[in-house]
Structure 1
Amino acid sequence: VLKSGCYSVGAVGSGVCWEARDGAYAGYAEGHSVDGGRHGTQGSSAQGSTEGDERVRDPQCADTTGNCEASACNVQIGDKLYCSQCSADATGYAPIDGICADVSGGQVCTKDPSSGFCTQCAKNYFLHKGGCYKFGGTPGSTICKDTVDSSGTAGVCSSCSAENGFFANLAPAATKQSCIACNETANIDGLKGVVGCTACKPPSAAGDSNTPKAATCTACDSDKIVKTDNDVTSCVTEEECTEAEGFFVKTNDNTKTCAACNVNCKTCSGAAEQCTSCKEGNTSYLKKTDNSQTGTCVDKTGCTGTNYIDEEAKTCSTCASAGTTDCKTCTKTDGVVTCTSCEDSQKFGLGKKSCVSQCPTNSQAGSDSVCVCNNGFTPNPDSSACVAASSCKTPHCQTCTGEGQEGETCTACATGYYLTPTGQCVDSCDKLGGYYADGNVCKPCNSSCASCTAAGADKCLSCPAGKALKYTSESDISGGGSCVDECRASTGGCDTCGAVIGGSKYCSRCDDASQAPLNGDCATNTARTQFCTIAKDGACTQCKSGLQRAARWPPCVPGSEWQTARMCAAECAAECVRLAAGLGGDGGQLLFLLPWLTRRRPVCGQHTEATARGAATQRHRSASLVEEKPASREAPLQCTSRRPRSAALARRCVPMRSCSRGELPM
């Protein structure tokens, strides 16, 4: 299983270690494979190994003489295996062109006295993997381009086949292997290749018997790209590259490589200077460019003026991005961003959330130049105006019956709040789980939905366990869709149902190799070619901008759409909050999307366990249709057996296993 999907893999550089066979030549640990043209080479291996990228093959041994040593038919060239050592019972035999032959005459091969392999080759032959291969012959021509012995030294190839993935020994001799494969992992005269490499440049100098110098890889096997780390190259998948701290996939003239980010970036995207997070140290704050998710890493002195330091998120953000207006400078204190200075002609607006020339109607500035609402008025939710204060006891209620009495019932909420069926006021109907906003009133979703955008069975945003969401329009997912039966393998064009989201199975690989799942669905749609740039074997290996590939399965999903840990990756960091270790999810952590819980843009960052639990507790309390109270940042996770409709919300926020049977997080 590759991280971007499921693939059968080839046996590269594993299975046989000739150094353990009675002192035989160390170079025999790797053989070669050339599939014609520039397909590269494979190291020698035992059949059935599954390390590497390519699908496992079962090549046939070209030596049918019966004289090849057991397990020594391991030099793979093209679609065949060739012998590297002949059996001790075959006296006087050694490999010639990979097939055991009588060399007792010594005209072609100088045989090792005690073993069945060559140590030196005569004119018109060169030494490779224990055998002598003829110039211009088969299969020697795939390794060496010479057609005659033109090096001036008998038994030495003067022109190794770079297009087939070989480079020349820096100290050629008839007793040495002339050509070394770019994917060779054994120490060949102080030289070696790179696992999975198909094209390379030789090092400038050889190492020694203990520390060989590796070639510089310039191309890798299919589905892998070259990674350069401090001048050392390796072959990795794109996903392995993006998961490695300080590296990103760089595209130049349609060629992709794994390149290092700027020294201050922890992660980056698109270019080395486009950081998405910063390393700890003096420049540990990410200062984003405009509305981009990338920026540069700065220290505190580089985050001034209309920017503020967010210690929790480790960002340098603009005052305006936090909902303030026209601040000259601002700061974040106790989770709230406020203006700290205004232009000389201005004063602080309500709650210091803005700088204004005049205070809003029904307010006035105090001696500290901060606008304050007059008696009988209170700030609206965004502190832009003063509205008439309500004498209703229900929080955020504007009008009510039985005002101030025990049986008081709210009939209308203040601007920015929504009335629940139980007469409470919440700032988002999403918090209830299974409700949507109709004007300023929360109404229940269709019974088939776990959450929705409006009334109707085709307006679902999430589904109960066992049901899968099928969007009405793949090009406009904001409209929602219907909850249908979850994925079943080998039905509906799906080969594998490898994604489990909110307790429901979704397709992770399509039957049609040219298709790929979009939002877990393989049904034909016109958006298919618009979301996936590279599709292979029924799965997407690269999504277009604005979409992301799940961490362990290959569908593309909108960056801010899915609500489980596997759907919430770096590309949607601005939409996600990471709950601390111990609350469940992948690797002991769980990610959830705040837009599913509140329609306001979330403030993101690494939350402590106490902060995360407090946040989760606060949101679940509001969903339980009781008076909403501010949750302590240290509030423990609590459970309740009430509110069965909130199961979908519970799945989105904290793991069900955190509570006892029959209970739900609150």
Structure 2
Amino acid sequence: MLVGFLLVCATVLAKDSGKTACEQKTGVCDGSLTTAGCATCTPAGSSQTCLTCTTSSHKIRPDEKGCISECPADVSTDVDGFCKCKSGYTPSTNGQTCEQKTGVCDGSLTTAGCATCTPAGSSQTCLTCTTSSHKIRPDEKGCISECPADVSTDVDGFCKCKSGYTPSTNGQTCEQKTGVCDGSLTTAGCATCTPAGSSQTCLTCTTSSHKIRPDEKGCISECPADVSTDVDGFCKCKSGYTPSTNGQTCEQKTGVCDGSLTTAGCATCTPAGSSQTCLTCTTSSHKIRPDEKGCISECPADVSTDVDGFCKCKSGYTPSTNGQTCEQKTGVCDGSLTTAGCATCTPAGSSQTCLTCTTSSHKIRPDEKGCISECPADVSTDVDGFCKCKSGYTPSTNGQTCEQKTGVCDGSLTTAGCATCTPAGSSQTCLTCTTSSHKIRPDEKGCISECPADVSTDVDGFCKCKSGYTPSTNGQTCEQKTGVCDGSLTTAGCATCTPAGSSQTCLTCTTSSHKIRPDEKGCISECPADVSTDVDGFCKCKSGYTPSTNGQTCEPSNTNKSGGLSTGAIAGIAVAAIIVVGGLVGFLCWWFLCRGKA
């Protein structure tokens, strides 16, 4: 009773003081928050947020910068009057709702175990799983503990359906792709097939572990051994084999072998005749022997190579008489060459040389009188197993290397950089240079670092003067050939000419880019088109053309320039006519005057 009395008193006192038992926390809101419906707020400042709403039934919106009538459905939760964005969501720009965080998964994908996803939308798929050991299921719409066996492959955590399979309806496994098979193929175990028709074949098998048989018209438990290969679930017949009549295995291709080849183990052969050879062997593991006239258990070691089941003799070897092995090509070597490592040689005699070496990896030495382990560096080149001396070098005395060609140079040529020379005498010239990168100068009396540009050409290390040029006095460059041109040719642009006289013609032009005109009596900027050809700077008239009167172009050879008669012919005819007429007049005068007096 005492307790009840005290409660009544407390209530009365509270009413008397003008206060209720509970009141809102004080905290004045900034204008924008007040406008947005906030009643009380956190302390003032840029980060100030709502604590309560003016309308008591309203909720504090997701960004806490105002109030809304109710929390946005599906994306937020009402927590004591505060709209809290669900996991994976964040307040929107206007703060009134929630939107997915970048990489955030929609509810169904989150429920299915996805941790991160592609951008939101109907095509959104998993990128990673909440449980790190889990795999992204075949339809990429969730996660599973492991990829479905036999029908999928784990590719970087994604369960990828195997060829011929597609994600199942629930996306958690893979099922065979649809592609209706004709009755016979369905009966033969095919699950999916190529388009219908007489040529329809299997793509996948009803039993996933089965293989598509060699004729592709059904499925078998495994590919036939020795005669076929499993290629992505298809049994492919090996070379020389073809699908059997029932399509379940492979048999040798048909090609009837003559009796001797059949006896020698051949199963199929080239067309009948004296040159018939094996294509395949009766025993599939056997090899076709070197002469291709039978089969052997394996190719002869060291002397042959297995090339797709054919025993091919190595270089320098030929099939033996019985065809079962390979022997060195015939060509008996003299004793010294045999001792030097030669296996086969050219015909006997003092000039006999090696063709092949006893040790197949060895090379024929520079003098071709024996074999060495490798060609001498810098001075020789390996040409098909023969050590060929480089330009300016010759085989050494022992034949095992190459040395510079002998030919002692006179003092002046040695001083000028020559290493080897032609025989001694006043006409001795360089053959090679002491410095290997140098070139033999135009007069061949010494060496220079490089051939003179524009006026010479490097021909195998020799600086050869271009047409119309000759070695200079010091021999180190080239200059235009001398030959004084007559006045008219000089005026016409000729620089050098043939010996003086009426038949003198141009050799070179004063302007180096100009061409010698068709009559060779002067120079022009370019050869006349269509009627001439530029031959080393000379304009040569084409067949059927001849130089024109002014010599600067070409005209047809049969041009009639005077109505069919030359000027000389016309003059001769005129003189003859005058003589005849004069004689006739004289005779008539004599006849009438002299005879009349008589």
TM bin, normalised by shorter chain, reads under 0.3
Higher-RCO chain (CA-CA 8 Å, sequence separation at least 6): 1
Structure whose CA Rg is larger: 2
TM-score, normalised on structure 2?
A: 0.25
TM-score, normalised on structure 1?
A: 0.23
